[in-house]
Amino acid sequence: MKLSNYFLPVLKESPSEAEIVSHKLMLRSGMISQSSSGIYSWLPLGLKVLKKIENIVRDEQNKAGVNEILMPTIQPADLWKESGRYEDYGKEMLRINDRQEREMLYGPTNEEQITDIFRRNVKSYKELPMLLYHIQWKFRDELRPRFGVMRGREFLMKDAYSFDIDAASSEDTYNRFFICYLKTFARLGLKAIPMAADTGPIGGDLSHEFIIISNTGESDIYFDNNILNEGNKISDISYDDDLNPIVEKFKSYYSASDEKHDKAKFDEIVHKEKQMNSKGIEVGHIFHFGTKYSNSMKANVLDSDGKEKTVHMGSYGIGISRLVGAIIESSHDESGIIWPDAVSPFTLGVINLKPKDDEASSIANKVYNQIDDKSEVLFDDKNDNAGVKFSRMDLIGLPHQIIIGSKAVSDGLVEYKNRKSGETEFINLDKLGKFLEEMNV
């Protein structure tokens, strides 16, 4: 993509409505544009990141054996009356009447909808466990939206739902998602800590939040520092392995958000110097809630003994749009965003410092065309001053930059810059392809 063709409205100063760094940087780098409180349009750069995250989440769900479906944003109120949540959910739920005065709602979550799909289509224990997910926009009419996309009213969420024949099987499924989540966040370049959590209005008896450390987070967290190292080998785990002992190992470490924090227990089982206390951002939440919905909505299957059984359910959320902000919170510096490779909107940026010099431009174009075949490249071909180009490229956070300047013409050298370390080195033009290949970009 040539920058001269790209819609990238960057700002030198951040709009006053933004308070935290990720919100400021998202506005400054032209990723989003606010529509109303807690509701945003996604501009090209922001949309690209959103899709990258979405695709990693999707891929890991698929690998874990979860089926993707797509449920509507607008749901009939009747389903929610069946589960009893139409009354319970309160003003956070956006209620709408259609032209026939039928009561509808913009879905804040989909337990009722999915349970309805399940009970219409699944009748036998032989089809269990059944794992389904979708990635869809949700709406929760928050009292006070804030922090940009991290706490919006409209947000993109991956929500998965599981159906099992009994509690034991359902806990195995829960553990499967537990591992799936650790793998997902690791792939996104994040260190997510699983924490025992309250189940809240969704209900149930077993629940974990996945939290990344950040001083702008809304949760107060307490954990054993050793749990951070436990996640290092997570990518080596196969879904065919026995996952339960691995999950039990994670659960054996102390980790809790403030509402579950037990100071006496913390002091007892965690060495003083390993006791960590921090703020964190919740990026995922998994629940095992048994028969709460299947019971009220009569989601039953026939078991091997020919008798009807109420299925055991769980639900598993990842806040995809929130992750965009959360990743920036955990990966930026004073110049701007630093994207982890996996979610970067472009794999690398190419800067032509001499757009008016024919020879330099010819080299830059050649470089761009050569690597654009293999990776996604943003090519700064604009006629701006060097400083403008550098600071813009740093702001939008592409992790790898190729800079073409006077030495390209005189000595056949281009500069590679690592956004994160700031380190640079000159590369011979002939060896650039190989260099990038070795860097895996």
The DSSP element (H or E) to which 77 belongs, if any, is helix 77-83
Contact 274, 226 (CB under 8 A): yes
Largest CA distance in the chain: 82
Burial 239-256 (b: 16+ CB within 10 A, else e): eeeebeebbeebeebbbb
Among 116, 164, 282, 372, binds RNA (CB under 7 A): 282
CB of 17 to RNA, least distance (A): 4
**Using omega within 30 degrees of 0 as the cis cutoff, is the peptide bond preceding 201 cis?**
no
Measured from the CB atom, the residue of 245 and 387 that comes closer to RNA is 387
Q: Which residue has the tokens 């080299």?
A: 363
Among residues 327, 279, 284, the alpha carbon closest in space to that of 26 is found at 327
Instruction: Return the range that interacts with RNA (CB under 7 A); candidates 56-64, 150-158, 160-168, 300-308.
Output: 150-158
Q: Which residue has the tokens 């639900």?
A: 315
- Secondary structure tally for the chain: helices H, strands E: 15, 23
Contact 191, 228 (CB under 8 A): yes
Among 41, 63, 200, 215, binds RNA (CB under 7 A): 200
Q: Which residue has the tokens 């995809």?
A: 320
Q: Tokens for 90? A: 């309160």
Measured from the CB atom, the residue of 11 and 269 that comes closer to RNA is 11
The interface mask with RNA, positions 285-324, x = CB under 7 A, is x-------------------------------x-x-xx--
Instruction: Return the range that interacts with RNA (CB under 7 A); candidates 68-76, 93-101, 114-122, 350-358.
Output: 350-358
Among 42, 133, 155, 289, binds RNA (CB under 7 A): 155
Among residues 156, 84, 123, the alpha carbon closest in space to that of 300 is found at 123
| Cross-strand pairs, 118 | none
Is there binding between residue 136 and RNA (CB under 7 A)?
no
The string of DSSP letters for 47-68 reads: HHHHHHHHHHHHHHHHHTTPEE
Looking only at residues 26 through 65 of this chain, which bind RNA when binding is defined by CB under 7 A? 34, 36-38
Among 24, 52, 58, 140, binds RNA (CB under 7 A): 140
Among 129, 152, 314, 399, binds RNA (CB under 7 A): 152
Among 284, 349, 397, 399, binds RNA (CB under 7 A): 284
Instruction: Return the range that interacts with RNA (CB under 7 A); candidates 165-173, 177-185, 195-203, 338-346.
Output: 195-203
The interface mask with RNA, positions 79-98, x = CB under 7 A, is -------------x------
Instruction: Return the range that interacts with RNA (CB under 7 A); candidates 153-161, 243-251, 265-273, 298-306.
Output: 153-161
Judged by CB under 7 A, how many residues of this single chain contact RNA?
A: 64
Contact 378, 346 (CB under 8 A): yes
Is there binding between residue 100 and RNA (CB under 7 A)?
no
Is there binding between residue 194 and RNA (CB under 7 A)?
no
Instruction: Return the range that interacts with RNA (CB under 7 A); candidates 50-58, 75-83, 337-345, 390-398.
Output: 390-398
Tell me the torsion sign for CA atoms 88, 89, 94, 99.
negative
Measured from the CB atom, the residue of 125 and 368 that comes closer to RNA is 368
Distance CA 377, CA 55 (A): 19
Is there binding between residue 10 and RNA (CB under 7 A)?
yes
Read off φ and ψ for residue 142, nearest 5 degrees: -60, 145
Is there binding between residue 13 and RNA (CB under 7 A)?
yes
Binding residues vs RNA (CB under 7 A) = 10-17, 19, 34, 36-38, 92, 140, 142-147, 150-153, 155, 157, 200-202, 209, 218, 282-285, 317, 319, 321-322, 335, 353-354, 356, 383-388, 390-392, 394-395, 403-408, 415, 417, 424
